Amino acid sequence: MPFYVRSQSVVSRVIAGETLIIPVRKGVGDLASIYSLNSVASAIWQALQRPSGKDEIVNAVEREFAQAREQIEVDVNNFLGEMQSAGLVEPVEERALGVPA
């Protein structure tokens, strides 16, 4: 089961309650590609402060929002897919983290 981590090539900040993600390319923030996250996406991004598996992320979001677990799973899968495509989130295998099998 892969874990997911934030890419090393992004910076994020919470400004006035809004989470903003800025990709860093060649040492400079790519201001043309700023991502603004809604509250659910922000909760997922928070869960990615350290390597996390999908179930762990879903559980974190479920604790914060009164939504059906199935919908949260869909939201987490969509978010991770979109963020991977944009290069903002990376999958990491457990063995790379030193997690015993």
Domain membership of residue 98 (yes or no) is no
Domain membership of residue 56 (yes or no) is yes
pLDDT band at 94 (very low <50, low <70, confident <90, very high): low
Q: Which residue range(s) make up the domain with 72?
A: 3-91
> pLDDT at position 17, please?
84
> pLDDT at position 75, please?
95
Domain membership of residue 97 (yes or no) is no
Would the pLDDT of 101 be above 60?
A: no
User: What would the mean pLDDT of 47-52 be, rounded to a whole number?
Assistant: 94
Domain membership of residue 101 (yes or no) is no
For residue 3, the cross-strand partners are: 53, 92
Question: Any idea what the CATH number is for the domain that residue 11 is in?
Answer: 3.90.930
Share of the chain above pLDDT 90, in %: 63
d(CA 46, CA 12): 10
Number of H helices, E strands in the chain: 4, 7
Would the pLDDT of 14 be above 70?
A: yes
**For the chain, how many structural domains are there in total?**
1
